[in-house]
Chains A and B, each alone.
Chain A
Amino acid sequence: GQSLEQPSEVTAVEGAIVQINCTYQTSGFYGLSWYQQHDGGAPTFLSYNALDGLEETGRFSSFLSRSDSYGYLLLQELQMKDSASYFCAVRGLSGGYQKVTFGTGTKLQVIP
């Protein structure tokens, strides 16, 4: 099966940097993704890593270490609008096909 762990809540100050960690277990790893979800909204894709290293997309970066089954999402120059829940999701093998399983989410609160 597949499982993921991430912190339930994080609070950070506007303009600062915050890192949200994620550890995962899966059979046959194909990628780790990150999604943002505002209250009442649908999850939206932010970033993914299939290979080790850092991927940068504007203020957001995502890191992966496959040997450690670990990744993180880095948010820089935090803005109030970044207050949301962030989910890591792993794509792994299940029944010969690849399926995407989500973590329980990290609620980020950005304070002035």
Chain B
Amino acid sequence: SQELEQSPQSLIVQEGKNLTINCTSSKTLYGLYWYKQKYGEGLIFLMMLQKGGEEKSHEKITAKLDEKKQQSSLHITASQPSHAGIYLCGADNYGQNFVFGPGTRLSVLP
């Protein structure tokens, strides 16, 4: 079955710094989803990528899917304390099931 790995496991950055979180799949991805979790608020959908080479942005967050559709990166520009939380990638295994990565914990120091 498909597995997702994320790196790093946790990340501490100073406010204003850029950062990148990676998500790697053992198989070619059909759809790759990024979510953010803030404790007590559940999972918030950020972006979905489906095509090789695709890139999407929302405010200061950019997500990319590589051409082989096995790796995605989430990049945050000029991080703010409001970006802190746990970021999870999720993948649609061609409709058979949906799997999540283990998550990356981001802390942003003011």
- Are A and B physically bound partners? no
A residues in contact (CB < 8 Å) with B: none
B residues apposed to A, CB below 8 Å: none
